[in-house]
Amino acid sequence: MTQLENQLAHPVTIIGNRAACLGEILRDDVNLAVWERSQDFSWGGFVTDFCNQAGNLERFVSLEPGQSAATALPRWALDIAGARNWIDDVDELIEMYQCLFEPEAIGLRIHVLADTMCPRFHVDRVPVRLLCTYRGPGTEWLPEPLVTRPAGEGPLPEQTVPADQIQTMPTAAVALLKGEAWEGNEGRGLVHRSPQPNGTPRLIVGLDWLSS
């Protein structure tokens, strides 16, 4: 596909039940790749207890290659049953992200949210972001044919989309969202938003590509 053809074509979404589908995000015409995996109940108890004890929580750390997600958890969380299983799972996601993109560093965010973090549809000003919702409803997103883009370089307009056409990432799914800062993806970042928690605190992990 030529650069002009890529600019004119709608970005597409890849959804699969194997981790290998995440590699499709490297294609020029893909702005979302989702690995729909089953929930691993070895960390299910930890997730519930962690959310109940944390309330609203936000942690951010910059990780060099080989560093563990454990550095982002409060010390008290390390004593919750199943913490090691959950940390191992997040460390696998970090390793996958590092393998795919080879960033100089990775920004790890851990959120426990009782309220909606980003209720408006938006695009991210990043190259590519990994999101995994371990508890509660997953991130909502719009297929490209339903998106209203700005005519020029202005902000994304309000999106008027019927509720039954809004897509939701399953809980525990691993998603790679291509943003506006990915070379060649300007004006094509995935349009998404945070869902309503519906009374259940959400636990979200995000990974970002950091440069020194």
pLDDT digits (tens, 9 = 90+) for 125-147: 999 999 999 999 999 999 999 99
Q: Which DSSP string corresponds to 55-72?
A: SSEEEEEEE-TT--GGGG
Nearest to 204 by CA among 126, 121, 134: 134
Residue 4 makes CB contacts below 8 A (sequence gap 6+) with: none
pLDDT, residue 135, reads 93
At 173, the pLDDT band (50, 70, 90 cuts) reads: very high
Mean pLDDT of the chain: 90
User: 87: helix, coil or strand?
Assistant: helix
Say if strands 30-35 and 12-16 run parallel, antiparallel, or are unpaired. parallel
pLDDT, residue 212, reads 56
- Residue 62 near residue 109 (C-beta atoms within 8 A): no
pLDDT, residue 2, reads 41
- Residue 130 near residue 93 (C-beta atoms within 8 A): yes
pLDDT digits (tens, 9 = 90+) for 45-77: 999 999 999 988 999 999 998 899 999 999 999
Partners of residue 140 on adjacent β-strands: 168, 193
- Token pair 């199943």 is at which residue? 82
- List the structure tokens of 33: 């790749």
Q: Which of 13-22, 84-93, 120-129, 144-153 has the lowest mean pLDDT?
A: 144-153
- Locate the domains of the chain by residue range: 3-210
- CATH topology (fold) of 3-210: Jelly Rolls (2.60.120)
